[in-house]
Chains A and B, each alone.
Chain A
Amino acid sequence: MRFWLRFKPHAGNLRLWQLGVLLVFLGLWQLASRDVQLAFFLGEPVKVAGRVWSWFLPWPVAPNLLFPDGLSGNADIYRHLGTTLLETFLAFGIGTVLGLACGLWLALSPLTSAILDPYIKAANAMPRVILAPIFAMWFGLGIWSKVALAVTLVFFIVFFNVYQGVREVSPVVLSNARMLGANQRQLLRTVYLPSATAWVFSSLHTSVGLAFVGAVVGEYLGSARGVGYLILQAEGTFDVNTVFAGIVVLTTFALLLDGLVGRIERRLMKWQPRQGETEKL
């Protein structure tokens, strides 16, 4: 009983419990993979880890108890990872700028927005992943067809957020700026653009994630390099361990990107009140 009281989950040992869940999961997985038939479909955690080692590190491992065949230290994923990340960043940048520009334009010109409204709705409702074959035809199998696919995903997120953000600028703030003597350009620079930026940042986590998804899906549908390509290759040879290793790598980098966005957001959005911040005087 005393033992349980000590290890009962509470705020202090939360990390320990989180780690415990992971270890139990990996243990059960490893146990299940002792059955050869199951291992064919589920892979083996130890082999997945070995695959990640060979991808990232240049040091080979001699045969031992865990890896009877030893591990080669290829360090050959960087080319693929670099391609995927480049596609992600390009798509994210282009999609954000385009979304920002179009969102501002349509929000400030109600007539254009009224005319284009049904087409925007249609474009947003369309499952945009089906555009991948068309982009492959237009831009070839290089990075640009993947960038294009990811841009279509990012664009609409940013676009709708900016559109909403500009239209929800407080009329009092707007009147105040006008009474202080702002002309149209100054209004755009000092009121609309910062307001829109705030909304872009609130959508940043979603849009970075979608840029990543667009890049990987694009690679998976046809490419010569990239993490999506590695997964596709492995799948073709029923190498389920490599597929899982690819998934692990992608998940890790998605988390890293998300953390990066969070840091940038906290730096740039320090003017926004945060929950529980009691610094008022």
Chain B
Amino acid sequence: MSKKYKLKKFLVRRYQILATILLILSAGLVLLPKYKKNEGINPDVFVKNAMNTERYISTDILVDRMINQDPSILLIDTRSEKEYEDFTLPGAINVPLKNLLEDDFNNYINQGAYDVVLFSNDNLYADQAWMLGNRLGYKNLYVLEGGLNQWFKTIVNPAEPEETMPKEAFDLYAFRKAAGMYFGIGIVENELADNKKENTKPAPAKKVIPVQKKKKGAPEGGC
């Protein structure tokens, strides 16, 4: 048998061979062992994000944005409901860490309209919430550095600078004092009692538009 003849004999059966290849490949899909896929971003990207400190926003910057009534910030209190009722930042929304991924709460952090600032007593809960959110690919998540403890240290009760300190320290102190005044810290007790009714009113919760699952109108087509 010549080579040419062999090839010819092979090519006569080309459709059967191609059909068999298709069948084997599709059967392969059925037979392959299944595994659960990771949701969200790649682990290496996640590690890189987690090492990065860009997610931290300092209390001074946050206060500056709040006083300037920046409409794009959304404060999220990740502590428990009880702690939230005792004290929270003005305008903050309570999303307890354990409820973070439930539908009612998830909409607050999974959206593209606001810069979401997560905070807790320290960084701990807020960082955990950030990790969960970042892992799932949520955008614009920030963590208040030092949390409410830092808030008390810097805004509510800022440390007076010493005389030998540079001018910047005094400016910062003045800024923090003024910011504290803005939030009603240092107002005399009876004045506070007068305004108590107003003060106890909860700040109006921001309206949050949840991210719609993106199904872009891709170009359509048939044959």
Q: Do A and B bind each other?
A: no
